[in-house]
Amino acid sequence: MSAVKKSLVVEQLRRNQMIELLAQGKRLDGRGLLDYRAIKIETGIIPKASGSAKVTIGDTQVIAGVKVETGTPFPDTPDQGLLIVNAELLPLSSPYAEPGPPDEGTIELARVVDRGIRESQMIDVSQLVIKEGEKVYAVFADVSILNTDGNLFDTTSYAVVAALLSAKYTKYEFVDGKLRPTEVKEALPLRTIPVSVTVAKIGDSIVVDPTDEEEAVMDARLTLTTDSNGNICAGQKGEPGTFSFDQMLNGADTSRMKGQEIRNILREATGFTG
Amino acid sequence: MTTVLLDEQGLRHDGRKVDELRPVKIEVGVLKNANGSAYIEFGKNKIIAAVYGPKEVHPKHMALPDRAVLRCRYHMSPFSTDTRKNPAPSRREIEISKVIREALEPAVMLYDYPRTAIDVFLEVLQSDGGSRCASIAASSVALADAGINMKDLVCACAAGKVADQVVLDLDDVEDKEGSGDMPLAMMPNFEQVTLFQLDGILSSQQFKQAFSFALDGCKRVYQLQKEALMKKYFGQGEPSMEESE
């Protein structure tokens, strides 16, 4: 899914160069190992959506749109609304993205972003019930990736979170047995701000917010999501490399620390204070 | 919630202690046609792993000039779950296939087999909680059975949280009604994590405890993997094989 085409020789040279720099605590673009690129968040950019956000991290650009509709609850959770997160790597996002059904990388991306938001219990789905067992609100968060330059996991996650934080949805009620929209618009029942922090392992170094170039040579990736209380609520290691036990535990600390910084950026962009 | 996940004696719904593994049985070499195979029972999980390869790659353009491609398919039989599972690969199965492949890849010496493919097929005949960990344990034994060069076995086990208590090795009930699951796989002789996933809210302390529980579970699974391989290749009661590292 990485948008950099891997060619053995150049990749290896680039990797060696990067490892040399990383050993001195530097990166190709001049950032420190634990520095994010500039994060820009705009909300409300698609007025037809219940909530929307465009997030830019470096040259990675992502738009998330939330649509709240009514639907039928799952039989095993009749007292809960639905939350469905999906992501699509658009063919216009990179020379290597192809139209067609999502590949395993895109499926993983969507599922990891979904997991982070779902498991943090960001949305109190028990409040999204119109009539138990029959009608609930279904919150769809769809993501379009517009331009790729690494760290799609975090960019996508922040876009969905910002869109959910700024969403307003139309309330429905049963009138004479029929479901009808009302004039009332409400914010979603929100409880916390989940923030995912992705690190890449390149050689023996750990860097946050990898670029496309860094992802092309990384050994492994670790995404950890924390909630507003600093609890860890979701995680995923990806790519064929490994992490030592210490790197895993330190990853949790990094995620908590960087998560707090980014949560403040999300609060500022959306006006949500939770 | 209907099930008591943790009783006053600190026992779980199936009578296990918090750090107790479900019964595990591993059998090596169960399929004639495969180059290597293994069958694992991990609690109520019943999973078969088969390895084909190293073999010619089809389609040819997928071949890598300097190493083998490792491919992995995790699949659940339609009858493996409470309600019938659609046999078409779900998004969940596609993701699990990917993470299992990435969990095994660091241990397999792919550069020994350039321009070939190594296929790992996993069929979950009956599923219980922790099927991806059981699948990894079985695949790694099947790869060894196929005689494929490996740096280490990959062992796997999950930890999780039920009733605000960190526990080892969740079963189906605990996975559904509990509040956290952390599957982990590692190469025991290198002390490197090759698979990690987490869902559910864990405090900093619980995260550390779950991590250490899971590592401990992995090490126990590793012993069972070695025993299963020894049983096939050296028969029972033979002197124990020295650890490779």
Where residue A36 sits, what CATH number does that domain have? 3.30.230.70
Mean pLDDT taken over chain B: 94
Q: Is residue A106 part of a domain?
A: yes
Q: Is residue A1 part of a domain?
A: no
As a whole number of Å, the CA-based R_g of chain A is 20
pLDDT above 50: residue B84: yes
Q: Is residue A3 part of a domain?
A: no
CB A66 within 8 A of CB A138: no
Given this model, what pLDDT does residue A274 score? Answer: 79
* pLDDT < 70 regions, chain A: 1-7
pLDDT above 90: residue B100: yes
Residue of A153, A219, A242, A245 for testing the chain B interface, max B β-carbons within 10 Å: A242
| Beta-bridge mates of residue B120 | B51, B72
Tell me whether residues B201 and A249 touch, CB distance under 8 A.
Answer: no
In this predicted complex, what is the ipTM?
0.88
Query: pTM to 2 decimals?
Result: 0.92
Give domain B24-231's CATH superfamily. GHMP Kinase, N-terminal domain (3.30.230.70)
What's the domain range around A116?
12-270
Tell me whether residues B211 and A249 touch, CB distance under 8 A.
Answer: yes
Given this model, what pLDDT does residue A132 score? Answer: 95
pLDDT above 90: residue B1: no
Q: Is residue A244 part of a domain?
A: yes
Helices of type H across A52-103: none
Distance in Å, alpha carbon of A185 to nearest chain B alpha carbon: 30
The chain A residues in contact with chain B (CB within 8 A) are 8, 104-105, 107-108, 110-111, 115, 118-121, 222, 224, 227, 230-245, 247-249, 252, 256
Joined together, the tokens standing for residue A202 give 């390149």
Tell me whether residues A119 and B199 touch, CB distance under 8 A.
Answer: yes
Residue in B186, B197, B215 closest to A236 by CB: B197
**Residue B129 to residues A70, B39, B42, Cα–Cα distance (Å):** 32, 17, 9
Residue of A237, A245, A247, A249 for testing the chain B interface, max B β-carbons within 10 Å: A237
Given this model, what pLDDT does residue B240 score? Answer: 52
Per-residue pLDDT tens for A21-35?
A: 999 999 999 999 999
Residues of B in contact with A235 (CB under 8 A): 182, 196-199
**Residue A51 to residues A63, A65, A162, A224, Cα–Cα distance (Å):** 11, 6, 8, 25
- Count up the domains in chain A and report the number: 1
- Mean of the pLDDT values across residues B125-152? 98
Domain spans in chain B, listed from the N-terminal domain onward: 24-231
